[in-house]
Structure 1
Amino acid sequence: MRPNPERRDSLPFQNKASGNPGEWYLGDTPENLSGSRRPVLFIHGFNRSSDTWYEGNDMYVTAYESGYETAFIDVYPDRSMWENGALLAQKIKDIYQHFGEKIVVVAHSKGGLDTQVALVHYGADPYIERMITLATPYYGSQLADLAYSRWGSWLANILGSKNEATYSLQTGYMNRFRSETDSQPNVYETPIYTLAGTKWGRFGSSLYWGGLYLRAYGSNDGAVTVKSSRIEYATEIQAGEWNHTTIKEGSSTFDVFKPFLQEEAAFFANREAADTAHVVQNPEACNYVSGGAFTGTTNETIYVEKGVHEMTVNWLSDQADSHLTLIDPERSTYPYFTTGQDAEAFFEGAYHHTLTIHNPGSGSWTLEASSVQKEHYLLNVSFASPLNALLSTALSNEDRHVTIKTHNLEFQTDVTIDYYKNGKLQFSDREASQASGSFEVPDLGEGMYNMTMNIHGSYAQQPFRRTIIQSVYADSHGNLY
């Protein structure tokens, strides 16, 4: 069962969504339709299309069998929430006029941001009864920061994943977006209800690696943290055991948010509203990150301090047949990596080569890589270690400084900055000036400052390395977000 496109003529339905931005489709009218059930418009997320709701997903069938009229729309898969929001505002009015009543929007991931722009900035609120968001990154995703970082850019450029959508999902950009949006007087007009996921994908998958990387920032679904999926004036329905893909599947979540599709849902939800205010929390230093390009062979050194419970090595590459061998300090070798292709937005199309070592010996490990052709890669080593909680960062808006916070650790840090204006790279690998243990964000004008902090030092008399990546947006007045 597939939805039918809204037609103004008698041409037969081609049984396939076109993917053309702005085109919308109607599901079949259910026999058990009830007047108390609002029509539901499903809006897809970043780098997807409307068929994400019914190709390999039972969301449409579940909604139909539950007696709901449905509609589906395609938006630009790789553009910012501003462009998609303007498009949605126009089309949502058309969909409202078709049904003759307000609709409920169910949006996955970035689709929730696209819809909020339509609501708040382009006047779509008279046509929407309420919005339910599934893992929407209201405060961005640190995976977008990684894609625009010194180390991630090598691979993201080759994959074509540095686009308007990824750029706008950097956490610094989204903090600026929140400032612009949450201050609008109509932001409370349409009730918002949220779901968040706490599970990752299978071992070796993109969502498993994403979960490892994002655990430095708290519980997450492999792409978006629970904290980012919350917004203080919305009601959280549930943070459950879904990953970023299963949270949009009908058999997983429809029955969870179904009570909030009813006309009386707002009254019920307000009585049960949870405190879901976004709490800013300094990330733990769980990751070591490197990257680059090579032909032939290359080596990466991985320092493991004492007390590491688990180490997961993820070699993310544009090559499926990378030849990798991990060598421990005793010269034992570990050549058996699990390989899987990335199916998510930020590094879609790349290959994950993953290996986990439990209770790794401390000291210097070597990762040997060989390739017969030029290979672009991003190395992420995730540590489960007591050291992680001893390192964090703090940004001062007053003096434009980022400070590395530690607990009696001996360490050194080098910080490089990639500066973007209107999505275009202006400066790369610019070293940040240091004074009294903090680093200054240079005043190069309005734009995005993507900071890569490489930290190396000693813990329990063993060397360690960690990487913290942070994006900062500076507006035209010099305010930092």
Structure 2
Amino acid sequence: MIKKISMTVLALFLLLPSWSQAGSWTEDPSGVPGQWYVGTSPSYVAPAKQPILFVHGLNSSSNTWWNENNMYETAYQNGYETAFIDLYPTKNMWDNGALLSQKIRDIYNYYGEKVVVVAHSKGGIDTQSALVHYGAYPYVSRVITLSTPHYGSQLADLAYSCWAGWLAGILGSKNDATYSLQTGYMSYFRSETDQNANVSKVPFYTFGGTKWGSFGSSLYWGGLYLSGYGSNDGAVTVNNSRLPYATELKVGGWNHYSIKEGSSTFNLFKDYLNETTINSSKALTQRASFNNEADSYFRGGEYSGKTQEKIQVEEGASSVTFDWMSNNPSSRLILKDPENKIYSSFNVSKDESDYFNGAYHHTLTIKTPPPGEWTLESDSQSLDKYLLNVSFDSMMNDVVSVSMDQGQISLKKKDRDVSIQEDMTIEFYKNGKIKESKIKPKKGLLKLPSLGEGVYNVTIDITGKKGKNTFNRTLVKTVYVNDKGRVFGQ
């Protein structure tokens, strides 16, 4: 059975007589933010075993731990008491941190002892906010995070960029939660959190994943895009899943969904669920410092009838992947290479990710593509909206990188023989709302405008040349500027 706890109500969902497995109940919890639930108590709970509080991630709810997931069952079979909570699925770490802090106190009082928090994805950020900023640290013994984007996600940056922001908005993916996960804003959160005296009160342990989903799926597409930023699980890079003062328990072959399954990771962290947890001999996590590869090119818009995009593929590219993302599952696409060879066998799948949920991917990979101008044509009888992402596996990916120093943007070339022309566009957001769109700095002046506190989402489209070889790339970067003019996310 599972117990449903609120301020005034204590209700029990009874097991159906024919069901013997833990976690069986007649209906799922309501998902109301702030409500929390107690799982079936094992017949015997060893005194050293502390209760586990499971915290869900972005656009999710408490049932993520038992619907198509054996995490709850695995914890029960291992003799642990469990609690689950529903947070706001689309609110930021400040709102969820304040809510979670209050409920952690209630759960502590219910059990009469500290709990161990196991959090998936953004749930780890919400948990740290509750402990550090809202005073819940006395009630928690330790926190285990499963692919938590402690430094944000570059997919959130993309969702607010000039090429993709409108599509994310149409799909309903732009909200307080995704806004707060932009890497620039998370750099600000880290500065507010990591220097706080409460940050060391509760030890953190982290997990990261390295596998994507199946070809054409949302996690595959996310993994392909994030590969320019390092190893990732289709939604979060390994580098961003780390905290310098946390202990990394394992980086393994999980994608962003499988990492939270009981059969995947429970046995790897169960030794950290007890009152007398072993001292880890693992070193504290080291985050890598590197410039991302420029391996993608974006275009997008809306159209009715026919439209086409032209893409330059450079000589020497090992492969190129075309991903046409649209709100229409039946987009008719024809791809032509420089030799007029036609490709039309696109893999179609629905996006189930946090940033473009509900869109449809039309994906095709070409090995050893002939260099030159490629054309992708689409035909739609209705108004269609699309985002084209072209991903390159090429030696040219590391030729150009972008950096920022107090609002001054620099493009760095690693090859002297490469010439580039850039076109920069800035989207300015304050408190999650767009204030100014499609800002174009003066030619040759790569500098943030002075618009005050908020997130500056910078998109730089590049046309490069090396000899007669032409290539296209798009770089996306976000920074947060606070009310004192300090820049975060450089």
TM-based fold match above 0.5: yes
- Alignment of structure 1 residues 41-440 onto 2, 5 Å: 41-265=53-277, 267-269=278-280, 272-397=281-406, 400-406=407-413, 407-408=415-416, 409-435=418-444, 439-440=446-447
How many residues are aligned here?
Answer: 473
- SS, match of residue 96 in structure 1: helix
| 1:140 maps to amino acid | G
| 1:344 maps to amino acid | S
Structure 1 range deviating more: 46-55 or 317-326: 317-326
Offset at residue 172 of structure 1 (A): 0.4
Query: Residue 143 of structure 2 contacts residue 203 of structure 2 at CA under 8 Å; is this kept in 1?
Result: yes
Query: Distance in 1 between the 2:284 and 2:62 partners?
Result: 32
Task: Give the ranges of 4+ consecutive aligned residues of structure 1 lying more than 6 Å apart after TM superposition.
Answer: none
| 1:164 maps to amino acid | D
- SS, match of residue 231 in structure 2: coil
| 2:272 maps to amino acid | F
Show the counterpart of 1:470: 477
1:22 partnered with 2:34 = yes
Query: Distance in 2 between the 1:434 and 1:227 partners?
Result: 34
Offset at residue 181 of structure 1 (A): 0.8
- SS, match of residue 187 in structure 1: helix
Q: Structure 1, residues 393-439: CA drift from partner, whole Å, max 9, x if none? A: 11112xx211111122111001010111111111111112354xx61
In angstroms, what is the RMSD of aligned CA positions?
Answer: 1.3
Query: Distance in 1 between the 2:86 and 2:370 partners?
Result: 50
- SS, match of residue 186 in structure 1: helix
Query: Residue 145 of structure 1 contacts residue 470 of structure 1 at CA under 8 Å; is this kept in 2?
Result: yes
Q: Structure 1, residues 237-295: CA drift from partner, whole Å, max 9, x if none? A: 01111000000011111111111112222x422xx233423333211101001111111
TM-score (norm: length of structure 1): 0.96
TM-score (norm: length of structure 2): 0.94
Show the counterpart of 2:49: 37
Query: Residue 306 of structure 1 contacts residue 459 of structure 1 at CA under 8 Å; is this kept in 2?
Result: no
| 2:351 maps to amino acid | D
Query: Distance in 2 between the 1:241 and 1:460 partners?
Result: 41
Query: Distance in 2 between the 1:301 and 1:5 partners?
Result: 56
- SS, match of residue 457 in structure 1: strand
| Cα pair distance change 1:230/1:205, threshold 3 Å | same
Query: Distance in 2 between the 1:47 and 1:442 partners?
Result: 33
Q: Structure 1, residues 103-133: CA drift from partner, whole Å, max 9, x if none? A: 0000000000000000000000000000000
- Alignment of structure 1 residues 447-462 onto 2, 5 Å: 447-462=454-469
Query: Distance in 2 between the 1:47 and 1:315 partners?
Result: 24
Show the counterpart of 2:16: none
Offset at residue 74 of structure 1 (A): 0.3
- SS, match of residue 440 in structure 1: coil
Q: Structure 1, residues 336-376: CA drift from partner, whole Å, max 9, x if none? A: 11111111111111111111111111000000111111111
Task: Give % identity.
Answer: 53
Show the counterpart of 1:444: 451
| Cα pair distance change 1:334/1:141, threshold 3 Å | same
Offset at residue 460 of structure 1 (A): 4.8
Query: Residue 298 of structure 2 contacts residue 390 of structure 2 at CA under 8 Å; is this kept in 1?
Result: yes
| 2:279 maps to amino acid | F
1:479 partnered with 2:486 = yes
Offset at residue 180 of structure 1 (A): 0.7
| 1:247 maps to amino acid | I
Which ranges of structure 2 fall in alignment gaps of 5 or more residues? Answer: 14-25
Offset at residue 332 of structure 1 (A): 0.8
Show the counterpart of 2:3: 4
Q: Structure 1, residues 48-103: CA drift from partner, whole Å, max 9, x if none? A: 01000000000000010011100000000001010000000000100010010000
Which ranges of structure 1 fall in alignment gaps of 5 or more residues? Answer: none
- SS, match of residue 162 in structure 1: coil
Query: Residue 3 of structure 2 contacts residue 10 of structure 2 at CA under 8 Å; is this kept in 1?
Result: no
| 2:29 maps to amino acid | A
Query: Residue 147 of structure 2 contacts residue 241 of structure 2 at CA under 8 Å; is this kept in 1?
Result: yes
Query: Distance in 2 between the 1:433 and 1:231 partners?
Result: 38
Query: Distance in 2 between the 1:245 and 1:276 partners?
Result: 23
Query: Residue 154 of structure 1 contacts residue 293 of structure 1 at CA under 8 Å; is this kept in 2?
Result: no
Offset at residue 154 of structure 1 (A): 2.2
